[in-house]
Amino acid sequence: MEERRSQSDQLEDRLIEFAARIIRSSIELRKTPTRRHIAMQILRSGTSAAPNYAEARGAESRADFIHKLGIVQKELNETAVWLRILLKINLGKEDLIVAILQENMACQNYHGLDQDGESTQ
């Protein structure tokens, strides 16, 4: 029987998949200087949540854990803002952008991403 994966493992996997989705979608954005700028910003913030969460999981103290989770939250927040900007400039890819934005929000609200270090279950 397969062991049940922890919430932390599930969230880390979800953040890795989110980063991969950001990378795949950013390739289409690089057609103009403005789009290239936005793509680079989204790449930076959207791909940093997963490794920062992995760092938080290895934190040396509760305070370090909380601090690193705060970084994850900030990067996801920034990514959400860039995605909302993309929606405003109407690239014709609204369905894709909305789906990525929804996944971003789901990651932010995931039970394992509680910034006060307490379990949310």
**DSSP-based three-state secondary structure for 111:** coil
Spatial distance between the Cα atoms of 80 and 85, rounded to a whole number of angstroms: 9
Is 3.40.630.180 the CATH classification of the domain at 7-108?
no
Q: What is the pLDDT along the chain (121 residues), one digit of tens a residue?
A: 346 888 899 999 999 999 999 999 988 787 789 888 999 999 999 999 999 999 999 999 999 999 999 999 999 999 999 999 999 987 778 899 999 999 999 998 885 565 554 433 3
Whether pTM exceeds 0.85: no
User: Domain residue spans in the chain?
Assistant: 7-108
Q: Which of 27, 8, 79, 13 is nearest to 48 (CA)?
A: 79
Q: How many CB atoms lie within 10 A of CB 52?
A: 20
Q: Which of 28, 19, 78 is nearest to 53 (CA)?
A: 19
